[in-house]
Amino acid sequence: MKLVIAVVQDDDADDLVEKLVQQRFSSTKLASTGGFLREGNTTLLIGVEKEKVDEVISIIKEICKSRKQTFTTPIPPTGSAGVFIPYPIDVKVGGATIFVVDTDRFEKV
């Protein structure tokens, strides 16, 4: 038994959960926050048999595509010297971060 932990962008989460359900994979959905952009993410916990891990990862890759998004640079911390002029930057967002860990025991009661 394996536990697939997938951290995905909120924009992709609903479509991913829907596709997983269609393929008869259940998941637990947790709200999380990204560190770099401090935007909402969704973390999915998916318990699957070892033989099904590649199928789950394939579904995640199909739904969670990376893309560019334009952000305005954040305001610097208070007390910094000089004049701050914000400017737009392109950042790659989306995709997924996937962890697969061994699970000794899995029960659904």
What is the value of pTM for the model shown? 0.76
Predicted confidence at residue 17, as pLDDT, reads 97
Domains and CATH numbers, the chain: 2-66+95-102 (3.30.70.120)
Q: Which of 68, 107, 108, 104 is nearest to 88 (CA)?
A: 68
Tally of CB atoms within 10 A around 96: 20
Phi, psi dihedrals of residue 84, rounded to the nearest 5°: -100, 130
Q: Which residues of the chain fall short of a pLDDT of 70?
A: 35-38, 69, 71, 73-85, 90-93
Core vs surface per residue 31-69: b (16+ CB within 10 A) or e: eeeeeeeeeebbbbebbbeeebbeebbebbeebbeeeee
Q: What are phi and psi of 106, to 5 degrees?
A: -140, 125
Q: Show Cβ contacts of residue 40 under 8 Å, excluding neighbours closer than 6 positions.
A: 9, 10, 31, 32, 33, 34
Q: Are 79 and 39 in contact (CB under 8 A)?
A: no
